[in-house]
Chain A
């Protein structure tokens, strides 16, 4: 086996993991499977693209690569802006659609369906604005550095992996050590009861959207930097996201990340042994296996 598959798997897996954290949080706290979550990945990537092109236009110096990386300061700056914009987008969609459905006490499945409609709208809007032609943050080429043991990675890839680790630890600490994290867990246990004891449920809902969309945006920027930016990039990740969220156990942040890595590695192995054209089926196979063997996932509790 080519050890490089391991590296590819880890990188795809960390993107899937970051996205799956958002899916698992919306699922456990807002209680529905959000089919529009993949679109936050694509929108995040395109927000960053738009902002970084604008910055590059204003000042060419921002485009000169930093150290060993392929991008200039315009990308980190625009990534931060994009995280905020994607969070805003999620809040907007919630205000226009999901919040109203919650107020009408719509059933879970109406929410799922609405998210399906929102996903299509957001994706096609992106296709309308940016066309379906692939885009890139930087045209610079990078040389992969040997890491030993036959593994190679470009500086961009190593930075992405490190960022993913930092973010997962941060989100885990946020959920377990802070007041808002405790509120979030309380709402996911029992929404009515936590409202009764004085937890601001609406604030929790807003936090979930901003956090989920922000992480999705980071995953989108990573995917855009390491692969390419397309309107369908989020849609193509949707099934792996769901597979990872369910494999990790709904509501578990470390579970989502670990399961994301598992799905990513499984995809890389499938590319090695079965063929690249079957990559998209891996998530489905994992999903079916989890539902058959352990529907509550690795870290989930049985219902």
Chain B
């Protein structure tokens, strides 16, 4: 019993952490840069499909199956998604902010359509199976297998988190903030807003692709219906709940919202008769939609909120100022 419980716990956390990767990617685009992406599902799908094509064994009736190592697949998935994000960004970032939203929405619809229709490449509605899973040799021991998989995800998340934290605090990250807060001032300082935004959008898209690839290898099977607009919505809810602009918030939000989602799915399965389950599942989406709107209205900064000061220097400066200020106050 306890072994099964731990196994389920591992599975739950591993899934939650794959969403956390998507959330981190969105945080680069929205949290740090203020770029709105409504096509998260599309970028995740690109990463998943590219990685699956690169790593699955050669298959009859389907293009690809290059049987490459898993890490190559992940890298390829991330690069492909970053490239598409770059192209879409190059097309729309100069224009009004919601043109990007509309264009990314179009990407998600088109990727979904390609996944369904390009049967020779994507396997059509049946998707791609037999995607190699990390530590497949351990599959005989479910507990060890799930623990190792969780370990992989924790390593990926930790590396990504450290890299992003470093990036946010780097001069590059500070320019992004500056552009988001006051574009004119940043332009006056000679920073090309378009270039920085485009870089941030491509990096965020690449991270989403990586998330898709990692998730595909964890589940071992992908199909177009994994990448419906619902996914985009879930990731948004996660970031908003956790607090956009905050990488820890992105991870926390992913685990929390995924937990709520799993719990409410369990409640739906338990409370409603089998015939009504599909209907009740839509109520689940209504709840999460209302919750997102409520958070936007009531607590737009999320649970953790944004870290206002990302510069190390500014932190030092303000504490130094405080120290200087102390002796100046008159003693009684």
By a beta-carbon cutoff of 8 Å, the part of chain A in contact with chain B is 27, 32-33, 35, 97, 100-101, 104, 106, 108-110, 112-114, 116-118, 120-121, 124-125, 127-128, 131-132, 235, 238-239, 242-243, 246, 277-278, 280-281, 283-284, 287-288, 291-292, 295, 303
Contact = CB atoms under 8 A, between A and B. Distances in A.
Contacts of B36: 109, 112-113
B236 interface: yes
B163 interface: no
A109 B97 CA distance: 7
Contacts of B280: 128
Given A35-B38, A280-B113, A292-B91, A242 B102 contact: yes
Given A106-B296, A278-B117, A292-B91, 20 more contacts: A33-B98, A35-B101, A35-B105, A100-B297, A109-B101, A112-B36, A112-B38, A112-B101, A113-B296, A116-B38, A124-B285, A125-B286, A128-B282, A131-B279, A238-B105, A242-B106, A281-B110, A284-B109, A291-B103, A295-B95
Nearest to A250: B96
Contacts of A278: 113, 117
Contact of A277 (B92, B116, B285): B116
Interface string B72-87: 0000000000000000
Contacts of A132: 278
Contacts of B131: none
B95 to A, nearest CB: 5
B279 A109 contact: no
Interface size class of B (residues with CB under 8 A): 35 or more
B230 to A, nearest CB: 8
The main secondary structure of chain B at its interface with chain A is helix
B112 to A, nearest CB: 8
B289 A120 contact: yes
Nearest to A291: B91
A127 B296 CA distance: 24
Given A33-B98, A124-B285, A117 B109 contact: no
8 contacts: A33-B102, A106-B300, A121-B290, A121-B293, A124-B282, A128-B283, A128-B286, A281-B114
Contacts of B91: 288, 291-292
Contacts of A239: 105-106, 109
Given A97-B293, A100-B297, A303 B113 contact: no
A114 B296 contact: yes
B233 interface: yes
B34 A109 contact: yes
Given A278-B117, A303-B96, A33 B101 contact: yes
Contacts of A113: 36, 236, 240, 292, 296
A284 B289 contact: no
B99 A291 contact: yes
B102 A246 contact: yes
Contacts of A288: 91, 103, 106
B278 A131 contact: yes
Nearest to B92: A291
Interface in B233-286: 233, 236, 240, 278-280, 282-283, 285-286
